[in-house]
Structure 1
Amino acid sequence: MTDTQRRGRRIMMTQGERDEFLADRRTCRVATVSGDGAPHVGALWFVWDGDALWLYSITRSKRWAQLRKDARLAVVVDDGHEYGELRGVELAGRAVFIGEAPRTGEPCPELDAPERLFAAKYFGMDEMPHDGRHAWVRLTPSTVTSWDFRKIPG
């Protein structure tokens, strides 16, 4: 993973700040590319494991179909109302599909940690419920950009 920030290093988040921010936020915006190059952006729940962002997407969605044809994606997670409160992280890379699609709960050791994190974060449960409509996409970012305007001197 590469920090791509050339400008604004003074407002970029540290690795620890990014990890805490991504663990705490609930919704991200996922950008994919259609066959004709048009972007598509949609909101989605996610978990961050310290190395990768895990997206649990409906397999019959536009997002899923686009990622199957073109695995490039970018994700933004942000927060703040006033200018001086704005902060966020942008991650970009390629989607990797993990486990069966749709997910029914077949054993997949690679999904043990993200499913445990997701179940706790969104459902307050120890085990992931599977509805047979969603499946997992992993984004191990090739680039990361972050900002925290709270770091701008008053």
Structure 2
Amino acid sequence: MSRRAQIRMTPDEVRAYLDEQRVISVATMSPNGRPHLAPLFYVPHGDGVATWTYGKSQKVANLRRLPQATVQIESGHAYEELRGVSFEADVEIVTDTERVFEIGSAMSARYDLTGGATGPEVDGFLRAQAAKRVGLVFTPTKIVSWDHAKLAGTY
């Protein structure tokens, strides 16, 4: 078995990894042909992820031209701890305010964006934010993963 095959995560391991991590790096294509890289909080969504961001951001302008991105999530400090998932994705830009609110609510719950507050005031805040934002849903078309702990210290 190849080393590459040894460190590959199973689909269940990939989903579990996405559940436990907190920040993705998203690469979109800038008008000048160079990658535009941005870190984002996210929520797991199917086999991919979803997030929200300001509709006038550079990444959204890039995605309106070409709704494709590469996403990477990684962790670990020492070689034997390195884990990660990288995927090419088709990206849906969500403009329906109710759907954007749902993504924002999931983000708020995951990251405690409201300091534990709940109720109508929080919903009002999230709805006001949703009106200024778009949702981004990243659906993987190709997934690459690695978990060096599977090598059990042999390199």
Q: Note whether the superposition's TM-score is higher than 0.5.
A: yes
Structure 1 SS opposite 2:98: coil
- The CA RMSD over aligned residues, in Å, is 2.3
Counterpart of 1:35 (choices 8, 31, 35) is: 31
Structure 2 SS opposite 1:23: helix
- Within the alignment, does 1:121 sit opposite 2:110 as a pair? yes
**1:121 maps to amino acid:** R
Q: Please name the residue that 1:107 is paired with.
A: 98
Q: Please name the residue that 2:74 is paired with.
A: 78
Q: Deviations over 1:41-77 (max 9, x none)?
A: 0100111123231021221211111111111200000
TM-score of the superposed pair, with normalisation by structure 2: 0.80
User: Sequence identity, in percent?
Assistant: 29
Gaps of 5+ in 1: 1-5, 101-105
Task: Give me the whole-angstrom Cα distance separating, in 1, the residues matched to 2:138 and 2:117.
Answer: 24
1:99/1:111 contact within 8 Å kept: no
2:87/2:140 contact within 8 Å kept: yes
Counterpart of 1:92 (choices 74, 78, 88) is: 88
Gaps of 5+ in 2: none
Q: Please name the residue that 2:140 is paired with.
A: 141
**Pairwise CA distance, 1:34:** 1.3
Q: Please name the residue that 1:3 is paired with.
A: none
2:72/2:87 contact within 8 Å kept: yes
2:51/2:107 contact within 8 Å kept: no
Task: Give me the whole-angstrom Cα distance separating, in 1, the residues matched to 2:98 and 2:106.
Answer: 16
